[in-house]
């Protein structure tokens, strides 16, 4: 059965999270798909997902992904995969809004805020 649903928009201090598919949206139980619209110079909280990996694909803008103890520069068209349970954070280092497609292989991902790491 095909099910249409409206995206769920969640304003954040760093921009807007748009959930397109997932258990919270009510249109699928087995995965999550969203878009993160991040303002220049902003960052989301350092966090982890114990129950799943995360795929981040940059559609526009320039961001730095901090994954574990490493940093990855991302520009449009690039993809990073965050292993389950690894603390990570996205920082918009560009001068324009970043648009990032994110996906999880579960309908309900666990979310845990982590303590900021001193070495960044």
The domain at 8-107 falls in which architecture?
Sandwich (2.60)
The CA-atom distances, in angstroms, between 68 and each of 6, 58, 62, 77, 119 are 34, 19, 20, 22, 11
pTM: 0.91
In this predicted structure, the answer to whether residue 119 has a pLDDT above a threshold of 60 is no
Q: Express each pLDDT in 13-62 by its tens digit.
A: 999 999 999 998 999 999 999 999 999 999 999 999 999 999 999 999 99
Phi, psi for 89 (deg, rounded to 5): -155, 145
């Amino acid at each position: 059965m095909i099910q249409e649903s409206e995206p769920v928009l969640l304003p954040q201090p760093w921009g807007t999270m748009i959930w397109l598919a997932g258990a919270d949206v009510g249109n699928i139980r087995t995965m999550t798909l969203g878009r993160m619209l991040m303002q220049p110079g902003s960052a989301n909280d350092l966090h982890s997902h114990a129950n799943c990996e995360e795929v981040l694909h940059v559609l526009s803008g320039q961001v730095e992904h901090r994954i574990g103890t490493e940093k990855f520069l991302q520009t449009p068209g690039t993809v990073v995969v965050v292993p389950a349970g690894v603390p990570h954070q996205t920082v918009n280092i560009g001068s324009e809004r970043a648009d990032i497609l994110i996906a999880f292989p579960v309908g309900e991902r666990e979310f845990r805020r982590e303590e900021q790491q001193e070495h960044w």
